[in-house]
Every structure is written in C-alpha cells, then in structure tokens.
Amino acid sequence: MRVANVYDINAKTYLIKLSRSGGETGESQKVVDFTFGSGDAAYHLILELYSSGNVILTVETDRRTRVSPNVLALGPGNYADCNYNILTLLRSYKDETKGVATMANHPYPIEGVKEPTTCDRATLEAALRAAAAEPTEKGPKTLKQAVGSALAYGPSIVEHCILSAGLKPSAGVEPSLLPPQSDL
C-alpha cells in the first residue's frame, strides 16, 4: 500500500487515500505507523490494513522499566522485545496460534511487522544485472523496475531515491551501462 493522496477535508479532518502497489503480499506489509512527538512524548498511531482493519494508539515505554511518563506501570508480561504500549484501539483480538493479544494495556506485537531493510551494493547490482538480462516486450526494463525488485518499498519511494541520486527512473537498464563483474 502507498499513500495516493491526502485530502484536507476541514480544519480538523484529513483523509488519507491509499492505493495498492505491485508485489505486496502478507500481513506484515500492511501496517502503517504514524509517529507523533519524539522521545518521552512519542505516540504511534498504527493502522492495520489487513483483515477487518484496526486503528491503534500506542505510547513508547522504556524497555527496562516498562514505564512511560504518560502511563503507569504496565501489567504483567514480558515487554523486553516491545516498547509500544497500547493505550486504545478500535478492535481487540487474540491470535492463539501466534500467541499474540492485541488489546489495551498490552504491548503492540511489533515483531510481526516487517522491519525496514537495507540494500547493499551487491544486491542492487545483482538486481540491475538481472533486469538487463531479462528485457520486457517493450525493450529494456527501466531503472525504476530494476531497483523496485531489489527493495521492499513501493514505487513512489523507489522513484524518489532514483531522482535523489540524479538519475532518470524511466531510463532503460542496458548491459553495456553496467560495470564489469571484476569491478565488484
């Protein structure tokens, strides 16, 4: 999913329109985390866009003390792997197969959410070589298509990264433009 547009409805209401982008599967990629504030005053509005959907408001807690300046000590449980305490949410649920309970005064199960990934030079070059070796019916794959296959981000972010590097996203990936294998 990606943000397609943000509408300013009135002084207090914004509407965020999301659209599907290619290649996304699984629940872990359908969670959006909006962070408001920082440090001790950081709150997270989490949108779960799978199944029936959910809207969850969390506050960051200190992993060692399990206490936030905004929340009293949390209830029983092991919060060593999680520092998002759920303040309120639209729908509470339990998943017995995963051992997860998503409800107020419990930690949000961030371990089930896909972590941001990095892309090293070797991975990026391998994706560019694969794209150069497999042209489409219309000609060579574009730089945007090649880089998009190497990264776990939507096309808008990929295009932004390519433009930030001073390149054209629509440029074709030609084998002659790639460095020789020995330069790796």
Span 26-76, pLDDT tens digits: 444 577 888 887 766 788 888 887 777 788 998 877 554 444 433 333 333
Q: How far apart are CA 146 and CA 177, in angstroms?
A: 14
Per-residue model confidence (pLDDT) at position 22: 53
Per-residue model confidence (pLDDT) at position 36: 81
Per-residue model confidence (pLDDT) at position 13: 77
Per-residue model confidence (pLDDT) at position 21: 58
Polymer length in residues for the chain: 184
Distance in angstroms between the alpha carbons of the first and the last residue of the chain: 34
Q: Which residue from 120, 119, 118, 121 is spatially nearest to 179, judged by alpha carbons?
A: 121
Q: State how far the alpha carbon of 16 is from the alpha carbons of 1, 8, 34, 62, 119, in Å.
A: 12, 9, 12, 31, 29
Per-residue model confidence (pLDDT) at position 132: 87
DSSP for 7-65, please give it: EEEETTEEEEEEE--TT--SGGGSEEEEEES-GGG-EEEEEE-STT-EEEEEEE--TTT
Q: How far apart are CA 59 and CA 43, in angstroms?
A: 4
Per-residue model confidence (pLDDT) at position 147: 87
Low-confidence ranges of the chain (pLDDT < 50): 23-28, 64-82, 183-184
Instruction: Note whether 1 and 21 are within 8 A (CB).
Output: yes
Per-residue model confidence (pLDDT) at position 64: 44
User: Which three-class secondary structure state does DSSP give residue 126?
Assistant: helix
Q: How far apart are CA 126 and CA 133, in angstroms?
A: 11
Q: What is the β-pairing status of strands 43-48 and 84-89?
A: unpaired
